[in-house]
Structure 1
Amino acid sequence: MLPENWTPILVLANARSGNNMAEDLMGEFRTILNPIQVVDLDSSTPHKALQLCTLLPNNAARVLVCGGDGTVGWVLDAIDEMKYKGQDQYIPHVAILPLGTGNDLSNTLGWGAGYAGDVAAEVILQNVLDGDPMQLDRWRVRVTKGFYSFHRPKIFSMNNYFSVGPDALMALNFHECRQHSPFLFSNRIINKAVYFFYGTRDCLVQACKDLDQKIELELDGVQISLPKLEGIIVLNIAYWGGGCRLWEGTGDKPYPLASHNDGLLEVVGVYGSFHCAQIHVKLANPVRLGQAHTVRLILKNSAMPMQVDGEPWVQGPCTIVITHKTHALMISPPSEQLEDDVPRVAESQSRTERKINDPDIGI
């Protein structure tokens, strides 16, 4: 017999995220929840952890993902696998505690650009319980080598953005450096400094120049004439590059705001790494190429760096098609934002403790 309004929370944490802050948080969450509800993704997979949801009433659980955007994407992929296996009735809503470097998805959904340890664990859990359900578009990125369909394609799931050009090159250099010296990348500030270094270097090298001569772009079947660009970025969410609202630019002209649940992608171009830096500090606008339900790119006779949600690689001639995949069930914070709760931690804690001890609510 379960209480009628019982909403358990499942915490999935990447212990390596957030300056190793996740490990301490897991200890705090285990003192509040049943320890089985707190899962370290270093020792288990999201799919195994989410099987706990099948033991609960339909759609009863909420999941808190503690990590960066990559960890969130890993969990959402596992939820899609549950849908594929016909377990739709157990699909939980997902909230985010941002512990990564960029946290653009977390920022878009209202959970902030990074958790600094200034909000009590009890308050975090209560925000998850009180948060509002919302949807997030998820997209399928199909990369086919060459120009013929008989090549077996690579398939990616996209929550944030796809890009080809300088920002993908920065992500690739960062990824290779982290693989070579992982001990250097335990601090969010150091991570951003490394990104800055590679961006500055690319300003001089211009490894992605003349992209407009190497690539063709189609939006909903219409070919787009490209100016002299070094990069193209396809956006699903409002934030990009660690907190920049790319589509809006400087805000000097009224453009429809980017939305993460309207079934549309925003496509922009950049002139290079220096232009990206100018956009970050609102000294320049991106080249707005349009919005579309389907995006198709053809890379001709060249190799270029690409990335999907921070997963970079170098790709030779290919055809890329981005189409809508599904909706993810997410949670946005309650109307009082997470940052606004900091001065009222003591008050919120006492209120949370009353709810935790109330058997008709529970956590």
Structure 2
Amino acid sequence: MEYTYYLFYNSGSGGNRGQQFLQLDQKELSFNIKDSHCRVKFYNICDSKSREVGLQQIMKQKQENIHVVMAGGDGSIMWIVELLLQHQVSIHSCIIIPFPFGTGNDFANTLGWGTTVPNDVIGMDSIVLKGFVEEWMEGVESYFDVWDVDIRLQQGGYISEIKRNENGVGEMKLQLKDQRYYKQMINYFSIGVDARIGFGFDKNRTSNQCCNKCVYCWEGFKKMFLKTPKVNQSIENIHNLNDDDLLESGLIQKSKDEIVVPGNPVNLLCLNINSYAGGLKNIWLNAQQNQVKSYSNIPSVSDGLLEILSFNSILGLGSERLIPGQATRLSQSKGPLKLNFKQNELLRTYFQIDGQYFSITNPSSVLIRSCQSLPQGKIRVLINKKGLLK
């Protein structure tokens, strides 16, 4: 039997550890494993010429199972998916395999591939990489939900993110059309203090993965002493909708199933996966169980559901890893899900999508629904069942 793996690597991920693949760019390695012949082909997703060579190779394939490995962080996953769609590759003929090179790697972690890789992922005589190929061969495929996040701003509103260049690090306003920002989500969306912690982290992140975890903890400690708008100070209401409730303009025609947010929590979290903030697992399973709309007690990456939760304090958010059960269940949603913000007053808060952090001034609404550009709103992925048992 023969296996071919198209490995796209983000040369800037994992403290630039992805650069070790540069020596293999547009080349291939072959392995004989368990009576099978395996080939791994390497392409730099950050280099337009290299990635185009790889994408053209994939476009020529006729088989139903094309293995696409993405060596990078969580953000790189949708990058390769979007490139495949742009090249009109049948997305359900591709099986996406995450190779965790980023800082959090929650996508890879929830599929059993862990949150990190060795400093040398190739090894002497490629022995380390061969071990990963053996794991890929034993993986089990699954579908995976993808969501659209559509954010609208009030007049004069804007969104900023942290950008780095030769002049240093600073906030930069996004250039938006019609006061709207759109992004696809595979892991989670949140708004509140956790996103503010991440925003500060982006300002001070280093090229060392271990140091970055320390930076993140320090930012969390600092935010305990700064005032961030709580959920009920920024959000007017939250509704589960039916697709029939949405006009072409995206406005609500009639409200369905308002989600009640008890107390005054410091954040609102919409989970698509069972891993958050770099490996924090089972938040939904361990959360306090209020009388909320629930379809399933055991979440799945392919169930077409979002788990919606909140944390009442920064301390609770920070201690979830050591003392599970700090979160509060609010609802499960098949989408569309709409958050309406308070109007007619200046509001600056923070949000994140899949570990990418933003500040937002004068938001109007957030609409989250199943990805419209993917068949059934899903991609195919490979799961490492052995990794899930660890």
Counterpart CA distance in 2 for 1:159 and 1:9 is 22
1:32 alignment counterpart: 29
- From the superposition, tell whether residues 313 and 118 of structure 1 become closer, same or farther in structure 2 (CA, over 3 Å): closer
Counterpart CA distance in 2 for 1:115 and 1:7 is 22
Q: How many matched pairs?
A: 323
2:341 alignment counterpart: 299
- From the superposition, tell whether residues 154 and 308 of structure 1 become closer, same or farther in structure 2 (CA, over 3 Å): same
Code of the residue aligned with 1:163 in structure 2: it is: S
- Map Cα deviations across residues 102-140 of structure 1 (whole Å, 9 max, x no partner): 111101011112112587111212222332111110000
Matches within 5 A, 1:259-274: 259-274=300-315
- From the superposition, tell whether residues 313 and 235 of structure 1 become closer, same or farther in structure 2 (CA, over 3 Å): same
* Residue 279 (1) aligns with residue 304 (2): no
Asked whether the equivalents of residues 217 and 296 of structure 1 are also in contact (C-alpha less than 8 Å), the reply is yes
Say which SS state the counterpart of residue 222 (structure 1) adopts: coil
Report the Cα offset of residue 231 of structure 1: 0.6
Asked whether the equivalents of residues 59 and 89 of structure 1 are also in contact (C-alpha less than 8 Å), the reply is no
- From the superposition, tell whether residues 213 and 20 of structure 1 become closer, same or farther in structure 2 (CA, over 3 Å): closer
- Map Cα deviations across residues 191-220 of structure 1 (whole Å, 9 max, x no partner): 1111111111111113233x2132021134
Q: Quick one: percent identity of the two aligned structures? A: 23
Code of the residue aligned with 1:158 in structure 2: it is: M
Identify the match of residue 137 of structure 2 among 126, 129, 133: 129
2:73 alignment counterpart: 68
Structure 2: gaps of 5 or more residues: 31-37, 122-127, 156-176, 242-255, 372-376
Asked whether the equivalents of residues 79 and 91 of structure 1 are also in contact (C-alpha less than 8 Å), the reply is no
Report the Cα offset of residue 173 of structure 1: 1.4
Identify the match of residue 200 of structure 2 among 173, 176, 191: 173
Code of the residue aligned with 1:7 in structure 2: it is: Y
Asked whether the equivalents of residues 9 and 71 of structure 2 are also in contact (C-alpha less than 8 Å), the reply is yes
Matches within 5 A, 1:1-363: 5-25=1-21, 27=23, 30=27, 32-33=29-30, 37-44=41-48, 49-82=54-87, 85=88, 87-88=89-90, 91-117=93-119, 120-146=128-154, 151-178=178-205, 185-209=206-230, 211-215=231-235, 216-220=237-241, 221-226=256-261, 227-245=263-281, 246-249=283-286, 256-294=297-335, 295-301=337-343, 302-315=347-360, 316-325=362-371, 326-333=377-384, 335-337=385-387
- Per the normalisation by structure 1, the TM-score is 0.80
Code of the residue aligned with 1:224 in structure 2: it is: I
- From the superposition, tell whether residues 143 and 287 of structure 1 become closer, same or farther in structure 2 (CA, over 3 Å): same
Say which SS state the counterpart of residue 280 (structure 1) adopts: coil
Counterpart CA distance in 1 for 2:357 and 2:387 is 33
Higher strand share: 2
Counterpart CA distance in 2 for 1:281 and 1:292 is 28
Counterpart CA distance in 2 for 1:143 and 1:219 is 16
Report the Cα offset of residue 60 of structure 1: 4.2
Code of the residue aligned with 1:198 in structure 2: it is: E
Higher helix share: 1
Code of the residue aligned with 1:296 in structure 2: it is: K
- From the superposition, tell whether residues 31 and 277 of structure 1 become closer, same or farther in structure 2 (CA, over 3 Å): same
- Map Cα deviations across residues 229-273 of structure 1 (whole Å, 9 max, x no partner): 121010100001111122123799997122111000000011232
Code of the residue aligned with 1:94 in structure 2: it is: I
Code of the residue aligned with 2:117 in structure 1: it is: Y
Report the Cα offset of residue 145 of structure 1: 1.6
Say which SS state the counterpart of residue 189 (structure 1) adopts: helix
Asked whether the equivalents of residues 101 and 188 of structure 1 are also in contact (C-alpha less than 8 Å), the reply is yes
Say which SS state the counterpart of residue 149 (structure 2) adopts: strand
Report the Cα offset of residue 328 of structure 1: 0.8
Counterpart CA distance in 2 for 1:298 and 1:251 is 25
Counterpart CA distance in 2 for 1:222 and 1:50 is 43
Counterpart CA distance in 1 for 2:274 and 2:323 is 15
Counterpart CA distance in 2 for 1:332 and 1:104 is 13
Code of the residue aligned with 1:317 in structure 2: it is: P
